[in-house]
């Protein structure tokens, strides 16, 4: 097969399914509007949602362009090694967030991740993180918007710019009206729509290539060869499809990048903060870890199918770039009706991802920038209005950043570079400050700034050809590691030279300082043994290890 155009042969049934989805999404947004009475309702759903809702929203918020387009592209480009982004690059960090970090976030009653930094360190650290987070969210929103526009361009034949504007308008409508509640309940709906849309691609694709055994044989005969079928084999050097040593995978991806994203990214943490009590907040990311374990079946596997069925996939430009693996499979494999479900699933995934970025952006902009530094002590109605204006602004800027994403043939490489720049140094600052009570406020600011600059310098030197890495992804792994080490060194140097915060100021913010009630307002039903965050997390970790065995 070749990539002779991405235009999908949609009929009335397919368009009807897509239209029904749009109407439902907007309906959920308008229904959620009735629950908004205070700014906490708008930005944090009144901290009232059950764990299963916040857990599904948590994983759905991540099922955007990174997951669908990016991971399928990686599956085609790097093979089975892409599962590292799930089983070592997500699940352990999600469990750590639920068991260790959520008690500090939820117990301190902060409204955002940057607000925790203000309490733990000082206002300069808070402002630096708020600004960097806001920038990161509009950049990542652009990735999701660009991927959404690609699909709309493919199925409608619209110019890319028009598809971007229309896609943004749909997301803008239900976030502006329904706030976080509208976003979260739509994310729960979108989770099931996404799975329903991707499963047929995997099933029909596997049938076409002769089942799992046929796929394995075809991959062996492809440009990836036998190396494309293993996760760890060959990682003793960089002579593998990913171009990464196991140290880079474990430390750079599995620790710094992964923990940096899942434990400090407010677009995700915000879902857990909206839970109804401490137990529900802790279980939120752990519940999300279970579907995360099996999502490679509908992302990485289709990438492999595209590799062996789409002739010429992997071109530098045009229809055959790796990013188009999923659209090409939809065009080639799916009959009408099923095609409409798949298109709706993809649209849902990009909208969920972008909505998470925008809802995180409007909360941090309103609480951590506008309220903290521009207009203090105004009414709730005023801050809700500012939040809606910030939503519009975030979407508009996201439209601009979508064109930045369009310049990358594999958006996964681009988004990993963003994570190494914004999330890795933040995680290092968090984790050291959370477990080292002596770390001073000034050490928090200077270490975060130095780590961010170190990650940026690594990326720029790599792009300039001064520093060599085997791939863009290897650069992001090592860039994240360099950022982490830089933060640790600066914190160790600055802390002894500066004054620490008083013990009473660190209650509930630093491990071992007290002030955290793990039961809190937990309901009786949440205390049964099978809802234990530690037990649920341990089972998920064991499953992650077991899943590696067949593809080692």
pLDDT tens digits, one per residue of 472-491: 778 888 888 899 999 999 99
pTM, entire model: 0.86
State the CB neighbour count (10 A cutoff) for residue 38.
13
171-190 pLDDT, tens per residue? 777 777 777 777 788 888 88
Is 511 within the bounds of a domain?
Answer: no
Q: What is the mean pLDDT of residues 191-211?
A: 92
User: Phi-psi category of 344—alpha, beta or left, where left has phi over 0 and alpha has psi -120 to 50?
Assistant: alpha
239-252 pLDDT, tens per residue? 888 888 888 888 88
Q: What is the mean pLDDT of residues 418-435?
A: 88
Most confident of 198-212, 318-332, 402-416, 458-472: 198-212
What sign for the dihedral angle of Cα 452, 413, 259, 103? positive
Q: What is the mean pLDDT of residues 435-454?
A: 94
Residue 438 pLDDT greater than 50, yes or no = yes
Is 337 within the bounds of a domain?
Answer: yes
* Residue 3 confidence (pLDDT): 44
* Burial class for 365, CB neighbours closer than 10 Å (0-12, 13-18, 19+): buried
Q: Which residues contact 499 (CB under 8 A, 6 or more apart)?
A: 440
Q: What is the DSSP string of 178-199?
A: HHHHHHHHHHHHHHHHHHHHHH
| Number of domains comprising the chain | 1
54-79 pLDDT, tens per residue? 999 999 888 876 678 889 989 999 99
What whole-number distance in Å separates Cα of residue 62 and Cα of residue 269? 11
Residue 1 pLDDT greater than 70, yes or no = no
Please give the C-alpha separations between residue 523 and each of 49, 88, 106, 278, 534, in angstroms, as whole numbers: 13, 33, 16, 10, 18
Is 245 within the bounds of a domain?
Answer: yes
112: which 2 tokens?
């955002």
Higher pLDDT, 346 or 429: 429
**Scanning the structure block, which residue is given the tokens 């908004």?**
36
3-state secondary structure of 238: coil
**Across the chain, what does the average pLDDT equal?**
85
Instruction: Work out the pLDDT band at 170, boundaries 50, 70, 90.
Output: confident
* Residue 526 confidence (pLDDT): 66
* Residue 124 confidence (pLDDT): 94
Is 54 within the bounds of a domain?
Answer: yes
Q: Which residues contact 325 (CB under 8 A, 6 or more apart)?
A: 69, 72, 73, 75, 76, 302, 303, 306, 307, 310, 313
Residue 267 pLDDT greater than 50, yes or no = yes
Is 131 within the bounds of a domain?
Answer: yes
Is 235 within the bounds of a domain?
Answer: yes
Is 388 within the bounds of a domain?
Answer: yes
Which CATH number do you get for residue 184? 1.20.1730.10
Is 122 within the bounds of a domain?
Answer: yes
Instruction: Work out the pLDDT band at 203, boundaries 50, 70, 90.
Output: very high
Helices (H), 34-122: 39-44, 51-61, 71-78, 84-87, 91-96, 102-107, 113-120
Q: Which residues contact 338 (CB under 8 A, 6 or more apart)?
A: 200, 204
- Domain span at residue 276 reads 12-418+527-551
State the CB neighbour count (10 A cutoff) for residue 393.
16
Residue 44 pLDDT greater than 90, yes or no = no
Distance of CA 251 to the CA centre of its chain: 19
Count CA within 13 A, CB hemisphere, residue 277.
12
Instruction: Work out the pLDDT band at 508, boundaries 50, 70, 90.
Output: confident
Residue 329 pLDDT greater than 70, yes or no = yes
Phi/psi for 56 (5° steps) reads: -70, -35
346: which 2 tokens?
């993809």
25-42 pLDDT, tens per residue? 888 888 877 777 777 777
């Amino acid at each position: 097969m070749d990539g002779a155009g991405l235009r999908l042969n949609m009929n009335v049934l397919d368009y009807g399914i897509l239209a029904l989805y749009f109407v439902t999404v907007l309906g959920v947004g308008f229904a959620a509007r009735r629950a908004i009475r205070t700014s906490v309702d708008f930005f944090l759903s009144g901290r009232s949602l059950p764990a299963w809702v916040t857990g599904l929203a948590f994983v759905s918020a991540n099922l955007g362009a990174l997951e669908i387009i990016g991971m399928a592209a990686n599956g085609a480009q790097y093979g089975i090694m892409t599962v590292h982004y799930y089983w070592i690059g997500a699940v352990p960090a999600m469990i750590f967030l639920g068991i260790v970090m959520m008690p500090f976030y939820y117990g301190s009653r902060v409204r955002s991740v940057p607000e925790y930094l203000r309490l733990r360190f000082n206002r300069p650290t808070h402002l630096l993180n708020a600004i960097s987070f806001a920038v990161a969210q509009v950049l990542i929103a652009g990735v999701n918007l660009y991927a959404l526009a690609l699909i709309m361009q493919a199925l409608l034949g619209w110019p890319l710019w028009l598809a971007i504007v229309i896609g943004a308008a749909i997301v803008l409508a239900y976030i502006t009206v329904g706030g976080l509640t509208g976003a979260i309940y739509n994310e729960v709906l979108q989770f099931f729509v996404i799975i329903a849309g991707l499963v047929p691609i995997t099933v029909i694709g596997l049938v076409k290539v002769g089942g799992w055994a046929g796929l394995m044989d075809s991959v062996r005969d492809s440009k990836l060869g036998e190396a494309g079928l293993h996760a760890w084999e060959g990682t003793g050097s960089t002579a593998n499809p990913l171009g990464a040593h196991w140290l880079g995978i474990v430390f750079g991806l599995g620790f710094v990048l992964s923990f940096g994203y899942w434990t400090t990214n407010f677009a995700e943490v915000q879902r857990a903060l909206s839970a109804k009590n401490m137990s529900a907040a802790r279980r939120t990311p752990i519940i999300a870890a279970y579907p995360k374990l099996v999502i490679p079946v509908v992302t990485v596997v289709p990438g492999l199918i595209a590799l062996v069925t789409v002739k010429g996939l992997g071109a530098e430009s045009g229809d055959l770039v790796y990013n188009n693996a999923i659209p090409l499979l939809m065009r080639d494999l799916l009959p009408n009706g099923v095609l409409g479900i798949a298109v709706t699933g993809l649209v849902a995934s990009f909208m969920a991802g972008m909505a998470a970025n925008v809802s995180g952006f409007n909360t941090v902009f309103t609480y951590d920038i506008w309220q903290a530094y521009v207009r203090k002590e105004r009414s709730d109605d005023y801050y809700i209005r500012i939040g809606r204006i910030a939503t519009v602004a975030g979407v508009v800027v996201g439209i601009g950043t979508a064109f930045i994403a369009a310049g990358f043939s594999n958006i996964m490489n681009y988004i990993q570079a963003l994570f190494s720049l914004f999330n890795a140094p933040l995680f290092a600052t968090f984790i050291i400050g959370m477990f080292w009570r002596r770390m001073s406020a000034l050490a928090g600011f200077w270490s975060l700034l130095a780590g961010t600059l170190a990650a940026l310098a690594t990326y720029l030197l790599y792009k300039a050809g001064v520093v060599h890495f085997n791939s863009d992804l290897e650069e992001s792994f090592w860039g994240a590691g360099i950022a982490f080490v830089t933060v640790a060194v600066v914190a160790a140097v600055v802390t002894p030279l500066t004054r620490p915060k008083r013990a009473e100021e660190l209650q509930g913010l630093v491990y071992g300082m007290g002030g955290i009630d793990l039961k809190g307002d937990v309901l009786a039903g949440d205390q049964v043994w099978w809802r234990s965050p530690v037990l649920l997390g341990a089972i998920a970790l064991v499953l992650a290890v077991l899943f590696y065995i067949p593809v080692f």
